[in-house]
Amino acid sequence: MNELENVKVGSIVAKNYRTAKVLTAFGIDFCCRGGISLEEACRNEGVSMEELLPALRQAFERPVEEDFTEMRPTELIDHILKVHHSYVDETGPVLLGYLRKIERVHGDRHPELREVRAEFEEAMHQLSAHMEKEETIVFPFIERIEKAKEGESDLQGAMESMNIEDPIRMMEHEHEVEGERFRKISQLTKGYTPPRDACQTYRVSFQLLEEFEKDLHRHIHLENNILFIKAKEMYKRMTASMH
């Protein structure tokens, strides 16, 4: 990829997901803030382009296991549901139980645990509602657009009743809110670093929190930077062909 400086951060990760690890290490958000150029992201975060570019180019030299940009929207949706939505459903309640326990046991000495637990509890509440909207409204509509594109169904009625841009804009806003929430959780936990007196549950909780945030970043990236872009392009082509 030439002239990486001018490429949007989200597009870089969409091309090769191995670059996500590099960007994260340099403190650059590729999911919620993936719509700006690499140059602007570096400027915003005070990152040296001279140090970042070689690391990114090295990541590009390594092959990716799966090219999500080549997937059809329905295939992407299936992947997101099976991998990321199921991860939130399965891991979230367990992690919340751990956070409640360490707040109860260690909260007096580490009062920040109360806020960490409260933020994560709110995240679970919001993500549950968010994923339900995706699963019952947004994803089925995208699937209908793809079926219409393939000539398998008539989308006239649905396209007259709802513009795909509106629900996608709402989903992207909610992604931004949760991205900010986990930035706050990371700050509260000093980058998920347990204190010296942390018990095993305390340490596991912070490890799971960090894993949860990384999965959420990948989850949001696949939707914002690949699935939603494909959906809007399909919708635009379909509406143009109807006039």
H or E segment to which residue 222 belongs: none
d(CA 7, CA 152): 36
CA proximity to 176, closest of 184, 164, 165: 184
Please state the length of the chain.
243
Block residue for tokens 């001018």:
6
DSSP code of residue 8: B
Whether 230 shows a pLDDT value over 50: the answer reads yes
Average pLDDT over residues 72-91: 95
Q: Where are the domains of the chain?
A: 4-61, 70-242
Report pTM: 0.76
Contact (CB, 8 A) for 178 and 216 = yes
> What proportion of the chain, given as a percentage, has pLDDT over 70?
90
Q: How many CB atoms lie within 10 A of CB 102?
A: 22
Residue 13 amino acid letter: V
d(CA 87, CA 131): 12
What's the sign of the alpha-carbon dihedral 166, 168, 169, 175?
A: positive
pLDDT tens for 95-120 read 999 999 999 999 999 999 999 999 99
**Which of 58-67, 76-85, 196-205 has maximum average pLDDT?**
76-85
Q: What pLDDT, on the 0 to 100 scale, is given for residue 159?
A: 57
Q: Decide which of 1.10.3910, 1.10.1200, 3.90.25, 3.30.70 is the CATH code for 4-61.
A: 1.10.3910
**DSSP per position, 41-99:** HHHHHT--HHHHHHHHHHHHHSPPS--GGGS-HHHHHHHIIIIIIHHHHHHHHHHHHHH
